C-alpha cells in the first residue's frame, strides 16, 4: 500500500471535519491582558443575549495567546487570540506550519489614554513623556547614579509646570491600560531623557533591567494606582483638585464639564489623532480568528460580530465607557467579519 503524507493543511481539514459533529459548544479565547477586560465584558454580554454559552476568555499575554492560537486547527485549540499588537510574520509562518492558514484580523479599537485634571485646577495643559517619567519613576539618574526620585512638585520636574505637589492617579497594575502607560509614557520618557542609555552604558545594566527600572513607579504616595474604573479616578481628582489623572479618551469626553485635558508632546488627544497614531500614547488592539472554526464552533462568528457591533464597540458603548477609543472604521471591520475576509487574500 502506498503511503501518503498529508500536509499540515490537509491534516487540519481532516481534524476539523472529524470534530464537526461533536465540537465543543464554547468559544475559547486566549491572549492579551490589555484586551482581556474588553473581551470579558463582551463575553458576559454575549452569554446574556445569545443562545450560546458564555465564551471562555483566558489571559497570558499577546505572544502566549498567539502561540496557542497557532498550535493548529480543531476543537482542542483556541478559536481566537487577543493581542495588543499586530501578529508578526514569524507567528503567521508558525501558524501556517500547523495548518492555521486562514486568519481574520479584527481591530477592535484603540488603547488611548489622556492626562486630565480638574477644570478649575492648576494649568496642566501640556505634558511630555519625559516629564511624566521624571515625576513618577521610582529612581532617576542624577550625576551618573541611580537615586530615589527627589522631585516633589511638578515645577521640580520642569519649571514650566505648576508649582504643585506631584499627585498622579494612574491605571493600576490590573488595569488593561497600565501596559500602554508604562511603555508609551514611562519607557518613552526614560528614553527621551537619556536615562535608558545611561543605565545601560554608564551603569552597566542589561537592557531588560534598565527598561524595568524605567517603568518602576514610585511608591511614596505621589503616584496612586487606580484598579477600578475611571469613575474612581474622577472621584480622586474631585477630592484632590491639584492632582492629575489618567483616563480613557471616551470617559474624558463624557466629563468635559469637570475635566480639562493636556496635550502630550504637543498633540491634543482625539479619536482622529489616536486612530492615526499622531497622538503618542495610543495603539490599536486586535483579536485574530481561525476562519476554519466558523460553522464548527457554535457561536464563534456571532461572538466576533457582536464584539465589533456599534452598540458594543462604538461611541457610548460599554467598551468605550471602560476606556476603549472607538475605531472610526468599525463599519469596515463589521463587513470583513460578515464576509469572512482573511489576512492573506482579503476574501
- pLDDT for 54-93, tens place per residue? 999 998 888 899 999 999 999 999 999 999 889 999 999 9
| Residues 297-306: tens digit of each pLDDT | 999 999 999 9
pTM above 0.85, yes or no: no
How many whole angstroms separate alpha carbon 347 and alpha carbon 183?
Answer: 35
Pull the grid cell for residue 109. 479599537
The single residue listed with the C-alpha cell 471535519 is 17
Query: Are the folds of 24-110+284-338 and 112-282 the same?
Result: yes
Q: What angle do CA 233, 32, 209 make, to 5 degrees?
A: 80
What torsion, rounded to 10 degrees, do the Cα atoms 330, 335, 337, 341 define?
A: -120
Helix runs in the chain, H state only? 8-19, 36-49, 62-69, 89-97, 129-136, 154-157, 178-181, 188-193, 195-201, 207-214, 230-239, 249-253, 271-276, 300-307, 310-313, 318-322, 330-338
CATH fit for domain 112-282, picks 3.40.190.10, 3.20.20.80, 1.10.357.10, 3.40.50.1110: 3.40.190.10
Question: Do residues 189 and 132 lie in contact, with contact meaning Cβ atoms separated by under 8 Å?
Answer: yes
pLDDT given at position 219: 97
Q: What one-character-per-residue DSSP string does 162-200 give? A: -S-B--EEEE-TTSTTHHHHIIIIIIHHHHHHTHHHHHH
Among 282, 243, 297, 343, smallest CA distance to 75 is for 297
Phi, psi torsion values for 245, nearest 5 degrees: -120, 155
What the block records as the C-alpha cell of 89 is 510574520
Where are the domains positioned within the chain?
24-110+284-338, 112-282
299 vs 32, residue with greater confidence: 299
CA dihedral 29, 34, 38, 41 (to 10 degrees): 70
Q: pLDDT (tens digit, 9 = 90+) per residue, 209-245?
A: 999 999 999 999 999 999 877 899 999 999 999 999 9
Q: How far apart are the first and last CA of the chain?
A: 39
Q: Indicate the CATH number of 24-110+284-338 among 3.30.365.10, 3.40.50.300, 3.30.565.10, 3.40.190.10.
A: 3.40.190.10
Amino acid 61: pLDDT: 82
pLDDT of residue 95: 97
Q: Is the CB of residue 122 less than 8 Å from the CB of residue 181?
A: no
- For the segment 239-290, what is each residue's pLDDT rounded down to a tens digit? 999 999 999 888 898 899 999 999 999 999 998 899 888 999 998 999 999 9
What are the tens digits of pLDDT across the range 122-171? Answer: 999 999 999 999 999 999 999 999 999 999 999 999 999 999 999 999 98
Amino acid at each position: 500500500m502506498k503511503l501518503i503524507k498529508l500536509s499540515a493543511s490537509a491534516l487540519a481539514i481532516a481534524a476539523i471535519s472529524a470534530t464537526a459533529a461533536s465540537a465543543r459548544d464554547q468559544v475559547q479565547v486566549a491572549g492579551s491582558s490589555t484586551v482581556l477586560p474588553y473581551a470579558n465584558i463582551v463575553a458576559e454580554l454575549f452569554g446574556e443575549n445569545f443562545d450560546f454559552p458564555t465564551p471562555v476568555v483566558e489571559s497570558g499575554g499577546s505572544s502566549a495567546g498567539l502561540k496557542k492560537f497557532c498550535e493548529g486547527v480543531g476543537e482542542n485549540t483556541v478559536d481566537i487570540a487577543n493581542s495588543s499588537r499586530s501578529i508578526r510574520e514569524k507567528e503567521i509562518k508558525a501558524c501556517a506550519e500547523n495548518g492555521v492558514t486562514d486568519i481574520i484580523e479584527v481591530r477592535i479599537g484603540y488603547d488611548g489614554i489622556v492626562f486630565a485634571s480638574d477644570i478649575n485646577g492648576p494649568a496642566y495643559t501640556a505634558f511630555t513623556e519625559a516629564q511624566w517619567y521624571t515625576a513618577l519613576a521610582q529612581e532617576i539618574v542624577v550625576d551618573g547614579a541611580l537615586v530615589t526620585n527627589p522631585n516633589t512638585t511638578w515645577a521640580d520636574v520642569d519649571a514650566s509646570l505648576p508649582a504643585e505637589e506631584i499627585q498622579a492617579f494612574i491605571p493600576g497594575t490590573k488595569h488593561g491600560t497600565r501596559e500602554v502607560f508604562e511603555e508609551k509614557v514611562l519607557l518613552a520618557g526614560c528614553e527621551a531623557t537619556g536615562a535608558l542609555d545611561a543605565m545601560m552604558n554608564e551603569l552597566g545594566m542589561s537592557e531588560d533591567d534598565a527598561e524595568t527600572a524605567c517603568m518602576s513607579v514610585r511608591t511614596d504616595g505621589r503616584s496612586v494606582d487606580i484598579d477600578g474604573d475611571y469613575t474612581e479616578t474622577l472621584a480622586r481628582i474631585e477630592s484632590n483638585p491639584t492632582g492629575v489623572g489618567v483616563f480613557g479618551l471616551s470617559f474624558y469626553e463624557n466629563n468635559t464639564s469637570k475635566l480639562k485635558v493636556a496635550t502630550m508632546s504637543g498633540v491634543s488627544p482625539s479619536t482622529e489623532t489616536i486612530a492615526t497614531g499622531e497622538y503618542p500614547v495610543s495603539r490599536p488592539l486586535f483579536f485574530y480568528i481561525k476562519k476554519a472554526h466558523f460553522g464548527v464552533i457554535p457561536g464563534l462568528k456571532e461572538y466576533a460580530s457582536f464584539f465589533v457591533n456599534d452598540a458594543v464597540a462604538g461611541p457610548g458603548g460599554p467598551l468605550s465607557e471602560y476606556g476603549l477609543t472607538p475605531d472610526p472604521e468599525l463599519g469596515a471591520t463589521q463587513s470583513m467579519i460578515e464576509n469572512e475576509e482573511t489576512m492573506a487574500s482579503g476574501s
